[in-house]
């Protein structure tokens, strides 16, 4: 680089005009230096792990997904998944059906993908690996008929076991004999011909009816090799501990001497997701009663599609959704939460403006003001500094109000009328600036003015969207480890487990036990247990 930052700052149109008149040779020399610097800067900008020493982790998720693909091609495909949208980011069509079903509206995968891409897992024609491990049965559980279902005759003398299966499960110890051990339970189902009326009575493991939509080919039944406690542990390791499927396989073998294939583990995780699905209705119901909900979204690759993981979180409840970052998801969320009358905290993403009772995260605004201070235009630097000064003054006022006698429950907007007027004038000037970032920040303030300064009416409200960002952090790390999900079912499972785990943590309760109870009950066709409550919710 020829030119240093402070030199570049002094070079503007006036400087060049002056140089042209006074010393044309120097101007030519400057041009050469500028071109050289520009090329070098562009090269740095275009550096990626494939052409430099940048680590692969520095690549954004969508770059990984679409690196090999032509952008236009992807857009075409996105359109085919969203036939009526002309722009995947902005446009949408309101699907009332989807809203009626719930909040999720995720496009289905193209059937053409299956022919184009190699399916993960065992390929057709490849040698399969059957179960070779033999278990020693530790306990037998009988499922007798007892009495004839028509005439109530006693069948105990005539009925016999006609089918059964082995279930591997965990048994947790108690205070006298602590520890956890693997148990194998033989489940036996009985058949008996009624001596009185001749009816053939028999017991059967419960099976959920086939699901045509989200859970195609995901059976929910008692007839499972993996018992509910073990299933809960597998999900817990995969989601809460972020252990890869392969590592879980090794763990189960090393610790329990249990051989399970990665496919079996994956099926167990997806089945458990189907088991917890009804929890979403409870979460929505709980969110509706909150006075403040934080919202945020982060990118999430599903196979080769770029989707978004959304979170809506309060102090005691979290709801996660995976889908396109379109109005569709947000509007479906608002439809589902039609009874919600609290405030929504968000960043500046304009979709959130659809909700009127909104608070804005100031951290984003301060960052953007800092960005202006670091720009190469003097006027923008001054604007950025002025915005920073006023925002910092207001932040201090909010903090003071919170520790004051009213505890931040009384408006301080009136006291800071002058600063607000000054800021508004500044933003109006910034909104017509020729510098892009300055113009954008000015417009952002003006567009979102009420939401940004609503906190001055009630300083006890938060200034940042930290809660939502914190709620996403764990799942962002999981995304980096797992490279996202591979199917719509995988994404759905991720969102459901994220909701359950985060909500249980927020309520200081064990997600492992809740998950175990849920899987156990749902495999028997029973209703889902209630989510644990915290004292403030019980009082409400
Ligand atoms: Zn009978």
Map 502-537 to HEC letters.
HHHHHCCCCHHHHHHHHHHHHHCCCCCCCCCCCHHH
pLDDT at 463 over 80: yes
Answer whether 99's CB lies under 8 Å from 331's CB: yes
User: If pLDDT is split at 50, 70 and 90, which confidence band does 86 have?
Assistant: very low
Residues 6+ apart with CB under 8 A from 400: none
The alpha carbon of 223 and the centre of ligand 1 are apart by a number of angstroms equal to 27
The alpha carbon of 147 and the centre of ligand 1 are apart by a number of angstroms equal to 8
Beta bridge partners of 294: 313, 345
| Cα end-to-end distance, the chain, whole Å | 64
The alpha carbon of 189 and the centre of ligand 1 are apart by a number of angstroms equal to 18
Print the SS3 string covering 324-344: CCCHHHHHHHHHHCCCCCCEE
116's tokens: 């184009």
Answer whether 181's CB lies under 8 Å from 209's CB: no
The alpha carbon of 154 and the centre of ligand 1 are apart by a number of angstroms equal to 8
The alpha carbon of 161 and the centre of ligand 1 are apart by a number of angstroms equal to 18
Query: How far apart are alpha carbons 46 and 280 in whole angstroms?
Result: 43
pLDDT at 515 over 90: yes
What average pLDDT score do residues 390-406 get? 93
The alpha carbon of 222 and the centre of ligand 1 are apart by a number of angstroms equal to 27
The alpha carbon of 150 and the centre of ligand 1 are apart by a number of angstroms equal to 5
The residue ranking higher by pLDDT, 73 or 460, is 460
Beta bridge partners of 323: 308
Predicted pLDDT at 213: 77
Answer whether 452's CB lies under 8 Å from 391's CB: no
The alpha carbon of 205 and the centre of ligand 1 are apart by a number of angstroms equal to 21
The alpha carbon of 146 and the centre of ligand 1 are apart by a number of angstroms equal to 11
pLDDT at 451 over 50: yes
pLDDT at 88 over 60: no
Query: Which of 72, 93, 133, 57 is closest to 483 using CA atoms?
Result: 57
Q: Could you tell me how far CA 116 lies from the centroid of its own chain?
A: 28
Predicted pLDDT at 325: 64
Q: Could you tell me how far CA 426 lies from the centroid of its own chain?
A: 37
The alpha carbon of 209 and the centre of ligand 1 are apart by a number of angstroms equal to 28
**Using one digit for the tens of pLDDT, what is the confidence trace for 227-256?**
999 999 999 999 999 999 999 999 999 999
Query: How far apart are alpha carbons 162 and 156 in whole angstroms?
Result: 14
**Using one digit for the tens of pLDDT, what is the confidence trace for 199-238?**
999 999 999 888 777 888 888 999 999 999 999 999 999 9
The alpha carbon of 528 and the centre of ligand 1 are apart by a number of angstroms equal to 34
Burial class (CB in 10 A: 0-12, 13-18, 19+), 447: middle
pLDDT at 536 over 80: no
What average pLDDT score do residues 2-9 get? 82
Beta bridge partners of 169: 183
394's tokens: 């207001």
Those residues whose beta carbon sits under 5 angstroms from the ion ligand 1 are: 148, 150-151, 153, 194, 196-197, 199
The alpha carbon of 157 and the centre of ligand 1 are apart by a number of angstroms equal to 13
The alpha carbon of 206 and the centre of ligand 1 are apart by a number of angstroms equal to 22
1's tokens: 């680089």
451's tokens: 């939401």
The alpha carbon of 203 and the centre of ligand 1 are apart by a number of angstroms equal to 15
The alpha carbon of 66 and the centre of ligand 1 are apart by a number of angstroms equal to 65
Query: Which of 54, 524, 65, 41 is closest to 308 using CA atoms?
Result: 65
Answer whether 279's CB lies under 8 Å from 495's CB: no
The alpha carbon of 198 and the centre of ligand 1 are apart by a number of angstroms equal to 6
pLDDT at 91 over 60: no
Answer whether 208's CB lies under 8 Å from 525's CB: yes
Predicted pLDDT at 116: 58
The alpha carbon of 158 and the centre of ligand 1 are apart by a number of angstroms equal to 12
The alpha carbon of 94 and the centre of ligand 1 are apart by a number of angstroms equal to 56
Q: Dihedral angle at the C-alpha atoms of 354, 475, 101, 346, nearest 10 degrees?
A: -10
The residue ranking higher by pLDDT, 33 or 142, is 142
Answer whether 119's CB lies under 8 Å from 336's CB: no
């Amino acid at each position: 680089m020829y030119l240093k930052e402070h030199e570049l700052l002094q070079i503007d149109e006036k400087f060049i005009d002056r140089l042209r008149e006074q010393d044309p040779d120097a101007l030519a020399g400057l041009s050469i230096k500028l071109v050289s610097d520009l090329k070098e800067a562009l090269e740095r900008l275009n550096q990626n792990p494939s052409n430099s020493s940048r680590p692969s982790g520095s690549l954004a998720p969508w770059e990984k997904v679409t690196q090999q693909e032509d952008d236009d091609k992807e857009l075409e495909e996105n359109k085919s998944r969203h036939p009526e949208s002309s722009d995947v980011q902005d446009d949408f069509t309101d699907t009332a059906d989807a809203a009626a079903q719930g909040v999720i509206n995720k496009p289905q995968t193209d059937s053409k993908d299956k022919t184009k891409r190699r399916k993960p897992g065992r390929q057709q024609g490849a040698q399969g690996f059957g179960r070779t491990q033999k278990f020693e049965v530790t306990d037998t559980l009988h499922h007798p008929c007892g009495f004839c279902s028509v005439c109530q005759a006693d069948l105990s003398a005539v009925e016999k076991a006609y089918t059964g299966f082995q279930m591997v499960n965990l048994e947790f110890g108690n205070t006298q004999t602590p520890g956890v051990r693997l148990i194998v339970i033989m489940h036996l189902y009985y058949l008996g011909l009624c001596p009185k009326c001749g009816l053939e009575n028999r017991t059967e493991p419960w099976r959920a009816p086939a699901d045509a939509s989200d859970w195609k080919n995901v059976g929910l039944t008692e007839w499972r090799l993996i018992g509910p406690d073990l299933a809960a542990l597998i999900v817990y390791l995969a989601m809460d501990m972020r252990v890869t499927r392969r590592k879980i396989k090794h763990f189960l073998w090393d610790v329990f001497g249990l051989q399970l294939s990665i496919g079996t583990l994956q099926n167990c995780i997806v089945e458990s997701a189907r088991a917890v699905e009804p929890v979403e209705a409870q979460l929505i119901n709980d969110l509706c009663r909150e006075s403040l909900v934080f919202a945020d979204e982060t990118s999430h690759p599903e196979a080769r599609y770029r989707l978004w993981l959304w979170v809506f979180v309060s102090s005691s409840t979290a709801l996660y959704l995976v889908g396109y970052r379109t109005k569709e998801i947000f509007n479906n969320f608002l439809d589902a939460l039609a009874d919600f009358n609290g405030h929504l905290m968000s960043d500046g993403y304009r979709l959130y403006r659809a909700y009127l009772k909104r608070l804005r995260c100031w951290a984003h605004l301060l960052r953007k003001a800092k960005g202006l201070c670091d720009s190469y235009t003097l006027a923008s630097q001054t604007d950025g500094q002025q915005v920073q000064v006023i925002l910092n003054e207001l932040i201090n006022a909010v903090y003071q109000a919170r520790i004051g006698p009213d505890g931040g429950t009384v408006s301080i907007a009136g006291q800071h009328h002058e600063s607000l007027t000054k800021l508004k004038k500044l933003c109006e000037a910034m909104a017509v600036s020729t510098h892009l970032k300055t113009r954008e920040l000015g417009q952002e303030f003006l567009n979102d003015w009420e939401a940004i300064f609503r906190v001055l009416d009630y300083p006890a409200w938060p200034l940042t969207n930290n809660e939502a960002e914190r709620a996403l952090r764990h799942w962002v790390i999981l995304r980096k480890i797992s490279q996202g999900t591979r199917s719509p079912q995988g994404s759905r499972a991720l969102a459901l487990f994220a909701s359950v785990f985060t909500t249980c943590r927020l309520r200081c309760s064990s997600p492992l036990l809740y998950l175990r109870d849920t899987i156990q009950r749902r495999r028997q066709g029973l209703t889902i247990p209630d989510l644990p409550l915290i004292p403030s919710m019980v009082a409400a």
